[in-house]
Amino acid sequence: MLYLDHAATTVVRPEVREAMAPFADEAFGNPSGIHGVSRRAKNAMEEARERAAALLGAAAPLEIVFTGGGTEADNLAILGAALAGGARRRVVTSAIEHEAVLESARFAERLGCELHVVGVDRYGRVTPRDIAAATGDETIVSVMTANNETGAIQPLAEIANAARGAGRGVLVHTDAVQAFISVEVTTATTSSDMISLAAHKLGGPKGAGLLYVRDGITLEPVIHGGGQELGRRSGTHNVAGIIGLVTAMEQSVSDREDFRRRVGGARNRFEEVLSAELDGLEFTVDEPRLVQHSHLRFPGVQSETLLIRLDQAGVAAAAGSACHSGAIEMSHVLAAMGASDAVAAESVRFSFGWVNDVADGEDAAKRVAAVVGELK
């Protein structure tokens, strides 16, 4: 199987598995305890928090809130900020956000917040001016670092500056879940007050993530209980997951230049060969985009049919998002870019990962071209 769906989730790195192993074994302790078994888990977790803070350029380790994944981090950022203190009453986000952000924002709206969902241009990019126009005082602005479907990198620093210039008490959140593996994401590069990450997109385990929250920001918790994470996220810590998350972050950062060269090379080779083999291929977005993403339209070929044929030919790719039953649903991202249903239904995402090299790109292109050729 040639797996080209690394944006959905990617292979766990061996360093991660190794780092996690003790915490599924003898270091099983609950960090919230007074004895030695707890202490060992607690120390490992707090050390991981320091490492995560350093990687993100955070001012203090306690700016890191460990969560049960990226979705939970997004929920905490938006709802936590929207509900805290009662002052912040407006949420501004973009139409191409992950559902974790969009649905949290809609939930905030149902709870009484004012919601503005800002559109994008035809290349799937959010315009800083549009964000500023929707932003007022005490607004939470949430725009992703790069889009998970198309790979389009957003002008986040400009968006953050424009938003802060449009009102007082503006908080900027970014979902950097898809971007972190190949794009430098720090508090400085994103100019953000809150950053969401998920371990499993980085070669870590599923079910672990974090929210960076700049010191001084008060969040209303969305998960209530024993008061872990300074009350911001209750629930017994997933210590193995946290260790896996931070190890995957470290590997991603130290590997980033190589990733961009090697995996980006695979993606570029894929697109080169595919363009040479097939007429009429359309690229959904232009630069800047994630080096690992290739989002393409094959005119005249239904993506659902293509994905099934590719699966049978040993190539795993994706389109839109899968619903509960497994059927493909119309992509809200492509719809926001102004694509018709027909165009969206012919679009496919190939996403490369840390295990790929340039030979995989060439191999993939040939296999995809062969299947598309049969379908045309």
If binding is defined by CB under 8 A, does position 304 make contact with another protein?
A: yes
CB 290 within 8 A of CB 177: no
If binding is defined by CB under 8 A, does position 35 make contact with another protein?
A: no
d(CA 251, CA 255) in angstroms, rounded, equals: 6
Within 347-376, the residues that bind another protein by CB under 8 A are: 375
**Cβ proximity to another protein, 87 vs 323, nearer residue:** 323
Angle between helices 303-312 and 358-375 (to 10 degrees): 120
Radius of gyration of the chain (CA): 21
Q: How far is the CB of 179 from another protein (least distance, A)?
A: 28
* Residue 323 amino acid letter: C
Counting residues that bind another protein (by CB under 8 A) gives 15
Residue 343 has, within 13 A of its CA and on its CB side, a CA count of 16
Check if 323 is active-site.
Answer: yes
Q: Which window, 59-67, 115-123, 249-257, 306-314, contacts another protein (CB under 8 A)? A: 306-314
Task: State both tokens at 18.
Answer: 């190794």
**Cβ proximity to another protein, 121 vs 304, nearer residue:** 304
Q: How many Cβ atoms from other residues are within 10 Å of residue 268's Cβ? A: 15
Which phi and psi (to 5°) does residue 192 adopt?
Answer: -105, 155
Tell me whether the omega of the peptide bond preceding residue 31 falls within 30 degrees of 0, making it cis: no
**Cβ proximity to another protein, 188 vs 308, nearer residue:** 308
If binding is defined by CB under 8 A, does position 321 make contact with another protein?
A: no
**Cβ proximity to another protein, 114 vs 304, nearer residue:** 304
The single residue of 1, 34, 87, 323 carrying the catalytic annotation is: 323
CB 75 within 8 A of CB 100: yes
If binding is defined by CB under 8 A, does position 2 make contact with another protein?
A: no
Q: Which window, 4-12, 135-143, 264-272, 307-315, contacts another protein (CB under 8 A)? A: 307-315
If binding is defined by CB under 8 A, does position 311 make contact with another protein?
A: yes
**Cβ proximity to another protein, 95 vs 316, nearer residue:** 316
d(CA 369, CA 376) in angstroms, rounded, equals: 10
Footprint on this chain of another protein (rule: CB under 8 A): 302, 304-305, 308-309, 311-312, 323-329, 375
Residues designated as active site = 323
